[in-house]
Amino acid sequence: MEEMTVAEAIEKGYEYCYVDGDESVTELKHVDPDDIRSHGAVICQSEPVFYTMRPERIRELIEDCIRNDQSFHDPEDEMASAVDKMEDSVFEPLADAVNEAISCVCFYPSVGIKLIP
């Protein structure tokens, strides 16, 4: 894995890192060199990535629920097949609402560069 110092990372425009063991990102300008030495750290992308739910995934989840939930009696698979035939556009408003609700959580993917003090 490529390695880079904090100063080099900041110079190249990186802003965040993950210190091993931490739950959230740390700004490079605030990262403690002792934490890097003792725990290790990797540089992250500067822009967050938000989780999203696609309309087709919502349809698949509903189909799975119908097929696997014992409260649905559908031995001929009619209900799940009916949902499968529905257009994705039917699920778009729900996907939009779910995506709005989960937009409070994001992540910063690693760029594959190890941070060194």
Position 46 scores a pLDDT of 93
Position 21 scores a pLDDT of 87
Position 70 scores a pLDDT of 85
109: which DSSP letter?
Answer: -
Position 1 scores a pLDDT of 87
8, amino acid identity? E
- Stated pTM of the model: 0.69
Position 73 scores a pLDDT of 87
Alpha-carbon distance of 61 to 69, in angstroms, equals 11
Q: Where exactly are the structural domains of the chain? A: 2-48+108-116, 50-104
Comparing CA positions, the residue from 56, 63, 62, 64 lying closest to residue 95 is 56
Position 27 scores a pLDDT of 96
Contacts of 14 (CB under 8 A, 6+ apart): 28, 43, 44, 46, 111
Q: How far is CA 81 from CA 44, 53, 84, in A?
A: 43, 21, 5
Tokens of 96: 């939009």
Comparing CA positions, the residue from 26, 14, 24, 32 lying closest to residue 113 is 14
Position 23 scores a pLDDT of 84
Position 25 scores a pLDDT of 94
The low-confidence residues of the chain, meaning pLDDT below 70, are none
Comparing CA positions, the residue from 104, 2, 101 lying closest to residue 48 is 104
